[in-house]
Copies of this chain bind each other. A is one copy, B any other.
């Protein structure tokens, strides 16, 4: 990039939490990256500054019209001290896909990656090393123009914050029970379900709460048109092992093109396991459970990596999967992905970006 990133180092470092305190997204590091956009000027003033509050006019468009996108990726420290980032190019490509959908100007992906690289290296002492932990990287863009007309903002801010994290779900990779949502819809083709934008997540909270009240950990979303085809589980993509084949919903315009989803598909194919990306109806799934061919089910996402499903609740009936235990394939995928991520396993796909110390 042409414009160097100005670094203003913090003189007041925080105490770091221990690994068992981490949870997900509760602690943040000492610095953040910021870059501004003004129409006419473009993106400008990339800088790393002490972690600090965002100060916005109350009329800033992000508060009123939700023009915002985000990403999530993870940095790891290998046992040999290398600092590794998992497939950041794919996240940054998706960030720009989301920007396009939300009428936000494109970012230079190389500049964004360089920002993340410098920020993570500056915060290297914040990367936890315990199994299941990582440094979660959250890039996001918010519309900052103070104006109430419904129109794209003329000002934006691109920000990257870092959070040392443990397991996303308290359950870890223990199987969770899933409520097939009959009323609420996450997204529909032509909408924003395939963009990583804030509104998608707020929209799903009510169903998640209802599922929790009924004793379920997550919601399985059906499509908004037919209320029949499986879309996502919670905020994850979803996979099912039926016979010798692994099924996952196709990228139909309303589900997220998950980085972990793509990685799982490539791993499975690499292992010679058949994967079908297609429409999967809830009825087909229930039938497969009844005839014994549904043997594993799991969600995939950056935060949880693999989240096995042990039970489905649909139309008043409970359907157990693999007797509520984590399946062999689910465990194998989890071990393979986290092994590649931590540098303890070979990386045949070239997924890990090693961040040099310049």
Q: Which residues of B contact A183 (CB under 8 A)?
A: 190
CB-nearest residue of chain B to A159 = B58
Contact A56 B54 (CB under 8 A): yes
Q: Which residues of B contact A273 (CB under 8 A)?
A: none
For the complex, is A206 an interface residue (Cβ under 8 Å from B)? Answer: yes
For the complex, is A68 an interface residue (Cβ under 8 Å from B)? Answer: yes
Binds B, one of A115-123, A136-144, A311-319: A136-144
Interface size on A, residues (CB 8 A): 71
Contact A25 B148 (CB under 8 A): yes
Task: List CB contacts (< 8 Å) of A174-232 with chain B.
Answer: 183-192, 197-206, 208-209, 224-225, 227
Given the known A-B contacts A55-B54, A136-B148, are A63 and B142 also in contact in the complex, defined by CB atoms under 8 Å?
A: yes
Contact A103 B59 (CB under 8 A): no
Contact B66 A68 (CB under 8 A): yes
Flag A39-59 by CB within 8 Å of B: 1 or 0 each.
000000000000111111111
Contact B66 A103 (CB under 8 A): no
Given the known A-B contacts A56-B56, A58-B161, A224-B224, are A67 and B25 also in contact in the complex, defined by CB atoms under 8 Å?
A: no
Which residues of A does B touch, CB under 8 Å? Answer: 23-26, 28, 32, 51-60, 62-68, 70, 100-103, 136, 138, 140, 142-143, 146-152, 159, 161, 163, 168, 183-192, 197-206, 208-209, 224-225, 227, 234-235
Could you give 9 example pairs across A and B, Cβ below 8 Å? A25-B148, A54-B56, A56-B56, A64-B70, A66-B203, A103-B209, A188-B191, A191-B191, A224-B225
